Amino acid sequence: MSTLVEHSAAAPQSMAQIRRIGFQTIIIREFHRIVRIWSQTILPSGVTATLYFLIFGAVIGSRIGPMDGISYMMYIAPGLIMQAVILNSYNNVVSSFFGAKFGKHIEELLVSPLPSWIIVSGYVAGGLLRGAMVGLLVSIVTLFFTHLPVKHPVIVVAAAAMTSVTFALGGFLNAMFAKNFDQISIIPNFVLTPLIYLGGVFYSIAQLPAWAHHLSLVDPILYMVNAFRFGFLGVSDVPVIVAFTIMLVAILALFSTAVLLLDRSSGIRE
C-alpha cells in the first residue's frame, strides 16, 4: 500500500457549501437508487395505472355515467395520478431511510457535518423526485386512455409537489420509528391505501349520503386529490384554498417534527 496521502491543504469548505453540496449529493444518491431498482420503483405504478384504466375506465367506467359532467375515465385520471404520487413519495423515503438505518449506512450522514434539516430535506427531495417520475409515467399512460385537459397548470404542479412533499415527510417519520421491515409496510397498506380509496379518487363525495360525505371531509387525501383534479378539470368537491392550506400546515408540522426527531435521533442514536 502506498503512503502518498496528502493532508488536506485546500481551504476548508464553508458551511453553506457543505450544506449545498451535501443536499445535492443526497438527491443524486436517491436518483441513482430509484434508477438502479427501476423495476421496483418506477414500473409497478405504470402497470397498476394501466390495469385501473382498463378495469375501472374501459370495462366498468363505460357503464357509469358522467361525473360532474365529465366522462368517468377522465374524472378518475387525476386521482389515479395522485395515488401514484402519494404512494411512491411515501415508499421511496420510508424504504430508503429505513434501509439506511437497518444497514447502518445512515451513519455516513449522521457523522457528517450536515444538519438534520438538510438530511430530512434531501430524503424528501428524493421522494419528490420519484413522485414526479412516477406521476409523469402515469400521466403518459393516462393519455393512451383519455384526453386530459390542464385548466390550471400552476395548481396541478403545486398540488402534486405539495402532496408529494407531505407524504415523503410521512414516510420519513414512519422510517424513524420503524424497528423492522413489517413496520414500514403497515402504514401504506392499512392507512394510506384506504384513505386514498375513500378520498374521492373514484367518485365525487357529492354523491354520498350526508354522513359519509361529512366523514370523507376528515380524510386529508380528499383535499389533495380534489385540488389536483381542479387543476386539470376545473371541478372540486372542496374549496381549493382549503386544500392548499391543509397541505401547507401538514408540511410545516411534519417537517418540524422530522427535524426535531432526527436532532434527538429517536430510534437512531443511543
Partner 1 sequence: MNALSVQGLTKTYRNGVQALKGIDLAVEEGDFFALLGPNGAGKTTLIGIVTSLVRKTGGEASIFGYDIDRQLEQAKSCIGVVPQEINFNQFETPLTIVVNQAGFYGIPRAIAHQRAEKYLKQLQLWEKRNHASRGLSGGMKRRLMIARALMHEPRLLILDEPTAGVDIEIRRSMWDFLRGINQRGTTIILTTHYLEEAETLCRNIAIIDGGRIIERDRMSNLLRRLHSETFVFSLRQPLTAAPALERYPVKLIDETTIEVEVSKQENLNDLFARLSALGIEVLSLRNKVNRLEEIFMRLVEKGAAA
* Interface ranges with partner 1 (CB under 8 A): 1-8, 10, 12-15, 17-22, 24-26, 28-29, 32, 36, 99-100, 103-105, 107-115, 265, 269-270
CA distance 84 to 89: 8
Q: What's the grid cell of residue 209?
A: 349520503
Give the phi and the psi of residue 149 in degrees, each rounded to 5. -75, 155
Nearest CB to partner 1, comparing residues 23 and 197: 23
* Residue 243: CB minimum distance to partner 1, A: 36
* Residue 184: CB minimum distance to partner 1, A: 17
Nearest CB to partner 1, comparing residues 110 and 217: 110
CA distance 266 to 269: 7
Dihedral, CA of residue 246, residue 173, residue 218 and residue 249, to nearest 10: -10
* Residue 210: CB minimum distance to partner 1, A: 50
Question: What is the crossing angle of helices 116-145 and 15-36, to 10°?
Answer: 40
* Residue 37: CB minimum distance to partner 1, A: 9
Nearest CB to partner 1, comparing residues 22 and 57: 22
Q: Are 171 and 85 in contact, with CB atoms under 8 Å apart?
A: no
Nearest CB to partner 1, comparing residues 32 and 214: 32
Q: Alpha helix (H) ranges present in 14-151?
A: 15-36, 38-41, 43-52, 72-102, 106-110, 116-145
Q: Are 163 and 85 in contact, with CB atoms under 8 Å apart?
A: yes
Nearest CB to partner 1, comparing residues 34 and 109: 109
* Residue 19: CB minimum distance to partner 1, A: 8
Nearest CB to partner 1, comparing residues 38 and 190: 38
CA distance 11 to 5: 17
* Residue 128: CB minimum distance to partner 1, A: 19
Measured from the Cβ of residue 111, the count of other Cβ atoms closer than 10 Å reads 8
